[in-house]
Amino acid sequence: MEKTLKRVHPVSDPEATYFLQVSWEKDLGTGFGLLLSDCQCAWTGTVSEADISREAADIEMDREKYVEELRKALVAGEESAGKYNFVIS
């Protein structure tokens, strides 16, 4: 299993710091787990392969392109910094 951890400063509260851990088995396209923490509370969730396919179809994006955008937003390091915004609600 692979995991990444990144610091997130959401546009909804730029002074706040969250930590986002993403874990997956083969690749993000087969589904992944999420853990989000503000160091006081933590929230977890899972995204299935079917969820990914459904979301890509909903926004009318090629599935492979959608998975690549997920990788850039959730996993990639400094090369994607500032290109993706997070809103915590």
Check if the beta carbon of residue 47 is closer than 8 Å to that of residue 32: yes
Check if the beta carbon of residue 34 is closer than 8 Å to that of residue 22: yes
pLDDT in tens, the chain (89 residues): 899 999 988 898 889 999 999 999 988 999 999 999 999 999 999 999 999 999 999 999 999 999 999 998 898 866 665 678 888 88
Helix (H, G, I), strand (E, B) or coil at 79: helix
- CATH 2.170.210.10 matches 2-80: yes
Domain spans in the chain, listed from the N-terminal domain onward = 2-80
Check if the beta carbon of residue 33 is closer than 8 Å to that of residue 46: yes
